[in-house]
Amino acid sequence: MPYPDMNGLAPSIYVLGPDRHGYDWYAKNMPRSTTSMQAYSAVLNFSSVDDFRKLKREITSLPFDQHSMRSDQDKQRWQEWASEFCDTRFDVASLDGHRKKWLIQAIVWLKRRDNRCSKGRKGVKSRAPLSAPSEGDGDRPQVMWVAATPNTSGDPIENEKNLVVRFLRTTNELEGALPWFNVTDLKNSRKSLGPAFVNSIGPTQKPDIHQGLVLMQIVKHLYDAEVSVHPWNIFYNDFVAPEESQTMKSMLLDDEQNLRSTIIVLYCDAAICVESGMDLLHVRLERLRSCYGARARTFPRQTEDLRERAKIKDLQALDELAHTYGSWRPITCYPVTKCTLEDAETTVHKRQESSGGECVQIRHRGDNGELTCTKKDTPERKKRKKHTEAMEAKPLWFHQEFVSTFADWGEFRVFIVTRQEPHSRRGLGGKIVAIAQTVNSTTDNDAMHVEQATDATFTRIDCGLCLEDLKHFALKTFNGLRGRDDWKETFESLEVGVRLDVAISPNLPRSFFVNEITRWYSAAFFSDDIMAEPKYTLCEEFAKAFTTYLSKLSVA
């Protein structure tokens, strides 16, 4: 099995010991409810007792809520579940038919026994589920989708080529054809959000809609609870400006003045929200939770929002993964630390709380700009000044090793969404749904060439790598990030999906590295350039994954 972690599976592969029983024994001694643990251990014949304990722990941790085996359909579900588990954990191709059937049935009964025991435990705290707990279909949180765009001038969305979703049919035709296409909602969004989010919505016009609004309209159709859309500036004034008690009454209580679970989805440009009080929103929300018992949270949560904007935690996570996998990454010199790029002739300076190519500068040796790292010959007085400046509440600058391949080969933007996979981490595995190649224009700093990445792309650039190499690398990185201990604080949004911005190393042999982890709610989808008709397909993929995660999300 060359790539056991391709779909987010746990990396453990169990190896059965030699067959001690012969061909016919398995057919006559299939596992059943009375089979003892000693019998399972003896027949599986692992090289270590610890392997059997590990197998039992893993089976216990996997989500599967089927208990009954009364009907043929119930039995089929159990067989499919166990068969898929065996395919990912054992080399079933090497087993004869009878031993394979015995193994699948053994997994069924090991899991059934665990399910029955967990139902019958009294006074024992149940294990934490692998997936986030559900609040129940009848008590799902309301969703407030808060939108802000850097397009502050209100230019029509059709001019935002990387963000627009164009439709070939008219508004009237779409309303009859697409269940999520709600003209009333879109007209209201046109009034509140302006032409930067939706335009050309007349009955006989062909609409142009911001990808985020398309995504949220699909979520609104799929999600079994209220979903409302709010412009950032109005939401901020309603949520932060009033007295705390007024915010509670108007936004976080239901009609009968009971606490209402609420998820605030921040689909916002980071720079705009930071300038206009994103941190104050988080402070207000924490006070409402602590002082009033509000059941509300943001998505992304505050820790991920802050760490994404600051970039450092993302880069450190990528450095750690590269070290684990033995792969190449450009050197990053972090703020305030001893400079690790002091002898480099050229480095790339980047500022926190920026996006795209904004605040990215190529500088030569001796031109330190606003860096806060310290060189070996820096006087002590100057070091203290740099540390003092770094303590001020403002975005910091850092720098990285210059990579020459960006100019010719650009970046590969790999879009990954999660899908339900019972045997994968937290019941979710990754699926690549689109890949774009982007190359910055040599004549216009604000323009880039965008196209769908294919096998032909790699043939043309002749870098020694191929499309399958890229897919494997991207999924491996995705799984590595989701497998971190700090996933909930730093990478929870990857439970829905992500855009990994991947580049090619300058040294031989060539390899891939992740330049940036772009959260899906901050990422341009490039639908106009890379998606076949209908152009909203990529929005639909992320909407389905987000709805699935919303349906499981608990708001404490």
**pLDDT score recorded for residue 49:** 65
Query: Between 556 and 212, where is the model more confident?
Result: 212
102 & 173 share domain: no
| Overall number of domains in the chain | 4
**pLDDT score recorded for residue 128:** 33
Number of residues in the chain: 556
**pLDDT score recorded for residue 152:** 66
Q: What percent of the chain has pLDDT over 90?
A: 59
**pLDDT score recorded for residue 261:** 94
Q: Is the pLDDT of residue 406 over 90?
A: yes
DSSP character for 427? G
Return the sign of the alpha-carbon dihedral for residues 442, 446, 449, 450. positive
Query: Between 8 and 161, where is the model more confident?
Result: 161
150 & 296 share domain: yes
Query: Between 89 and 172, where is the model more confident?
Result: 172
Q: Cis bond leading into 18, ω under 30°?
A: no
66-86 tens-digit pLDDT: 556 666 677 788 888 888 888
Residue with tokens 């949180």: 141
Give me the chain's average pLDDT, please: 86
Q: What percent of the chain has pLDDT over 70?
A: 85
Query: Between 253 and 8, where is the model more confident?
Result: 253
223 & 267 share domain: yes
Q: Is the pLDDT of residue 118 over 60?
A: no
User: How does residue 8 score in pLDDT terms, banded at 50, 70 and 90?
Assistant: very low
**pLDDT score recorded for residue 117:** 52
**pLDDT score recorded for residue 254:** 86
**pLDDT score recorded for residue 127:** 32
At residue 333, the 3 state secondary structure works out as strand
Dihedral over alpha carbons 487, 488, 493, 496 (to 10 degrees): 90
Structure tokens at 397: 């600058």
16-59 tens-digit pLDDT: 877 777 767 887 888 877 677 777 888 888 776 677 878 887 78
pTM assigned to the model? 0.75
Structure tokens at 463: 């870098």
Structure tokens at 289: 């939770």
508-556 tens-digit pLDDT: 999 999 999 999 999 999 999 999 999 999 999 999 999 999 988 888 6
- Please name the residue ranges forming H helices in 90-144: 97-120
284 & 230 share domain: yes
Query: Between 22 and 239, where is the model more confident?
Result: 239
430 & 461 share domain: yes
CA–CA distance, 282 with 289 (Å, rounded to integer): 11
162 & 204 share domain: yes
Select from 120, 151, 174 the last residue of a domain.
120
**pLDDT score recorded for residue 368:** 92
Q: Is the pLDDT of residue 216 over 60?
A: yes
Q: Is the pLDDT of residue 95 over 50?
A: yes
Question: What is the rounded average pLDDT of the residues 237-261?
Answer: 91
Query: Between 60 and 369, where is the model more confident?
Result: 369
Q: Residue 2: inside a domain, yes or no?
A: no
**pLDDT score recorded for residue 488:** 96
148 & 275 share domain: yes
Burial level of 217, CB count in 10 A (0-12/13-18/19+)?
buried
Question: What is the rounded average pLDDT of the residues 266-295?
Answer: 85
CA–CA distance, 199 with 119 (Å, rounded to integer): 54
CATH label of the domain that carries residue 440: 3.30.470
Residue type, 39: A
**pLDDT score recorded for residue 122:** 38
Q: Residue 11: inside a domain, yes or no?
A: no
463 & 381 share domain: no
Q: Residue 272: inside a domain, yes or no?
A: yes
407-432 tens-digit pLDDT: 999 999 999 999 999 899 999 999 99
First to last CA, the chain: 41
Q: Residue 273: inside a domain, yes or no?
A: yes
Backbone angles phi, psi at 436, to 5 degrees: -110, 145
Flag the least confident range among 104-118, 281-295, 323-337, 354-368. Answer: 104-118
CA–CA distance, 380 with 396 (Å, rounded to integer): 20
Burial level of 383, CB count in 10 A (0-12/13-18/19+)?
middle
**pLDDT score recorded for residue 64:** 67
Q: Residue 254: inside a domain, yes or no?
A: yes
User: How does residue 482 score in pLDDT terms, banded at 50, 70 and 90?
Assistant: very high
298-317 tens-digit pLDDT: 999 999 999 999 999 999 99
User: How does residue 269 score in pLDDT terms, banded at 50, 70 and 90?
Assistant: confident
CA–CA distance, 338 with 334 (Å, rounded to integer): 8
User: How does residue 114 score in pLDDT terms, banded at 50, 70 and 90?
Assistant: low
**pLDDT score recorded for residue 531:** 98
Structure tokens at 192: 């509140």
Query: Between 393 and 80, where is the model more confident?
Result: 80
Residue type, 45: N
Name which of 545, 86, 140, 502 is nearest 329 in CA terms. Answer: 502
- Please name the residue ranges forming H helices in 392-512: 405-409, 455-461, 467-482, 487-490
168 & 284 share domain: yes
Helix axes 278-292 and 232-239, enclosed angle (nearest 10): 40
166-208 tens-digit pLDDT: 999 999 999 999 999 999 999 999 999 999 999 999 999 999 9
Structure tokens at 518: 């772009």
Q: Residue 473: inside a domain, yes or no?
A: yes
Instruction: Tell me how crowded residue 442 is: count the other CB atoms within 10 A of its CB.
Output: 9
Select from 382, 401, 420 the last residue of a domain.
401
For 437, the domain range is: 405-520
**pLDDT score recorded for residue 39:** 79
123-146 tens-digit pLDDT: 433 333 333 333 333 468 999 999
**pLDDT score recorded for residue 11:** 45
Q: Residue 4: inside a domain, yes or no?
A: no
**pLDDT score recorded for residue 517:** 98
Select from 252, 283, 300 the last residue of a domain.
300
410 & 470 share domain: yes
User: How does residue 90 score in pLDDT terms, banded at 50, 70 and 90?
Assistant: confident
CA–CA distance, 237 with 252 (Å, rounded to integer): 15
Q: Residue 96: inside a domain, yes or no?
A: yes
409 & 451 share domain: yes
296 & 171 share domain: yes
Name the strand (E) or helix (H) holding 397: strand 397-401
CA–CA distance, 440 with 392 (Å, rounded to integer): 34
Backbone angles phi, psi at 522, to 5 degrees: -110, -5
